[in-house]
Amino acid sequence: MLNFEHENFAIPVERFEKMLKTNELLFFDAQEFEGIVQHYIDYGKLNLADRALEIGMDQHPNNGELILLKSEILIFEGDFKQSLELLDLAEKISPQHEEVFIQKATIASKSKKHKEAIKLLKLALKFSDDLSEIWSLIGMEYLLIKNFISAKYYFKLCLEKDPLDYQALYNLLHIFEQLSEENESINFLNKILEKNPYCEVAWHQLGKIYFKKDNYKDAISAFDFAIISDDTFTGAYIEKGKILEKIGKLNSAIENYHIAAKINDPSAYVYHRIACCHKVLGNMDLSLSFFKKTISIEPNFEKGWIEIIDFYFKKSDYSNALIYSRKAIDSNGDNPLFYFKAGQLLMKNGDFSDAIFYFENSINLGYVEIDVWNDLLDCLIKLYRFNHAKNIISKALDLFKNSPSLIFRLGVIQIKQGNSKKALKYLKSIDQKVLSKLLRNVLYSDLSSII
């Protein structure tokens, strides 16, 4: 693998940059150029990396490492054709260089030729001292083609060599889940814990599996051992809190969430869980304060906005509910649910014209539940915009064939336009119980005697 220590190349980098400023051509040995180029690649300065390679390859035209670095940049830029040409040249210079085959495998993988990538990576294994990294790459390629059995084999190899390779562990657990091998997953984690009883990651993953199996007692024990292994492991506190919440031990759940929030910077998710616990306990004001903290930390946290809006809506505090609906839209302008809620609140306040704007935006953004169509139609009918309403009904009926609520509103429009016969035709097609329920809408209660 190409690998350079940055501190060893600080002086060559300084010399190189001084050379660029003065236009003076200095000589660097090939290894110095490799370090300079890698330095710029690692810091995302690809223009400078290209410039260093250009000068380096002029001074050392047959240096395989520089050719490989140039190929690496070309792969990053998506120029696979030129990269492969350079890799063929590098292979002639260094036919047993693992990086040649790894880069060719990268190109094959990016071109969705995963079986070819696997063959190339297996060739790289013959020439590599770092088998674990290549095993991991092979495992990932097998994952991409959903060959879970082969992927499992290679990730197990990684873990046999390095039990602390957590990325391989996570991949392996994902495979067990895909293969519905929960028991094998538990056995594997227990083997890890036999070798390393203070492996907090293994305890944490074991707890999650028990949680999924509704084995709450063993899950809590596993999370407790994860915490004993590392008392700053926030994930264990959060998962334990979720179980305690599920079994009704809300105060204990809150305590665990608070510990998690103190260890790391608090997340919107943790505050949301605390808020939900207080909500169930009936601590409504406390609950609201934590929901507000969620959106303060993460303005895009949609669940927090929804809870706050619903809190004020249920208290009939439509003014505050509308304020937070509009703030939610400012923070999450592509969320159709917030437009729908704002429309409902404006409708409650009798502001039908503005409500139409929000309902139409909600639909345009993809919220197509029947409620939004009905509310939009109610506003249009209230404002006597009957032609607009008919067009909306036509579109809605494409989505909700023979919907009683849409046909009812079509009948209402006909009544209001004086077309009683047409209205009767539409209304007679609706089941009487459904029709009676639709007439309970306060906007149409005056039609009960007519219909």
Tens of pLDDT along 166-201?
A: 999 999 999 999 999 999 999 999 999 998 999 999
Place of tokens 């119980």: 433
CA distance 438 to 442: 9
Residue 353 has φ and ψ, to the nearest 5°, of -65, -50
Q: Which residues contact 57 (CB under 8 A, 6 or more apart)?
A: 63, 66, 67, 70
Would you place residue 4 in the very low, low, confident or very high pLDDT band (cuts 50, 70, 90)? very low
Q: Judge residue 404's burial from the number of C-beta atoms within 10 Å of its C-beta, 0-12 exposed, 13-18 middle, 19 or more buried.
A: middle
pTM for this model (two decimals): 0.77
Q: How many CB atoms lie within 10 A of CB 174?
A: 16
- The string of pLDDT tens digits covering residues 390-427 is 999 999 999 999 999 999 999 999 999 999 888 989 99
pLDDT(340) > 60: yes
* CATH class assigned to 380-451: mainly alpha
109 and 141 Cβ atoms separated by less than 8 Å: yes
Q: Which residue spans of the chain are classified as CATH 1.25.40.10?
A: 271-367
Mean pLDDT of the 313-330 span: 96
CA distance 137 to 117: 9
More confident residue, 75 or 449: 75
Listed residue (424, 368, 378) closest to 398, CA to CA: 368
Secondary structure element (H or E) that encloses residue 327, with its range: helix 318-331
pLDDT(124) > 50: yes
CA distance 49 to 269: 41
Joined tokens for residue 301:
């946290």
One CATH from 3.30.70.20, 1.25.40.10, 3.40.630.30, 1.10.287.980 for 271-367: 1.25.40.10
- The string of pLDDT tens digits covering residues 67-122 is 888 888 889 889 999 999 999 999 999 899 999 999 999 999 999 999 999 999 99
Please state, for a pLDDT cut of 70, what percent of the chain lies above it: 97
CA distance 137 to 159: 14
CA distance 59 to 39: 19
pLDDT(297) > 90: yes
String of DSSP letters for 28-95: --HHHHHHHHHHHHHTT-HHHHHHHHHHHHHHSTT-HHHHHHHHHHHHHHT-HHHHHHHHHHHHHH-T
- The string of pLDDT tens digits covering residues 261-292 is 999 988 999 999 999 999 999 999 999 999 99
CA distance 293 to 279: 15
